[in-house]
């Protein structure tokens, strides 16, 4: 069966890319495979106001942040399934943690089209993959690529 592949790098769901993927799948009578790609762990960030760091540390620890990320990811995966089902599009949703570029290139060979949001060079996605960039993947993809500008 024909398949469209939608990549979501990190925790932010790009709704325009999801909508484009669903429309493409409907127009081509194809299935949709959605891959949420995340880093293996939270990236630490410098705290801008050291005088407030004790108060900030008391509000949330790393375990709370990880649990919140997992809840957000699960809810977004469910949302994608529900939106696809409402449009009568067969949809498989998966979460891959820090996949390799080679693994991803193989997945593109199994698809007719790769859909992703246009990567912003100056902004790294929250919990986005670190092993390679989406630009590297799109340049090596073995299928048509559709980048959706947000």
- The pLDDT tens digits for 80-137 are 999 999 999 999 999 999 999 999 999 999 999 999 998 777 677 888 999 999 999 9
Question: What CATH code is carried by the domain that includes residue 126?
Answer: 3.40.50.620
In a domain, 72, yes or no: no
Mean pLDDT (the chain) is: 88
Structural domain total, the chain:
1
Per-residue model confidence (pLDDT) at position 111: 98
CA dist 20 → 64, 112, 140 (Å): 34, 14, 21
In a domain, 70, yes or no: no
Supply the pTM of this predicted model. Answer: 0.85
- The pLDDT tens digits for 23-54 are 999 999 999 999 999 998 765 555 455 555 55
Per-residue model confidence (pLDDT) at position 1: 76
- Paired with 31 in beta bridges are 3
Cα 33-69-148 angle, rounded to 5 deg = 40
Query: Does the pLDDT at position 65 exceed 80?
Result: no
């Amino acid at each position: 069966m024909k398949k469209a592949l939608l990549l979501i790098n990190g925790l932010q769901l790009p709704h325009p890319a999801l909508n484009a993927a669903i429309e493409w799948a409907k127009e081509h009578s194809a299935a949709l495979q959605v891959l949420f790609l995340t880093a293996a762990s939270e990236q630490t960030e410098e705290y801008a106001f050291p005088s407030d760091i004790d108060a900030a540390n008391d509000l949330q620890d790393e375990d709370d942040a990880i649990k919140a990320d997992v809840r957000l990811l699960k809810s977004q995966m469910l949302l994608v399934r529900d939106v696809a089902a409402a449009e009568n599009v067969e949809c498989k949703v998966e979460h891959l943690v820090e996949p390799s570029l080679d693994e991803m290139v193989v997945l593109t060979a199994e698809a007719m089209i790769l859909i992703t949001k246009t990567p912003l060079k100056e902004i790294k996605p929250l919990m986005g993959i670190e092993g390679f960039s989406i630009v590297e993947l799109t340049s090596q993809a073995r299928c048509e690529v559709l980048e959706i500008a947000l």
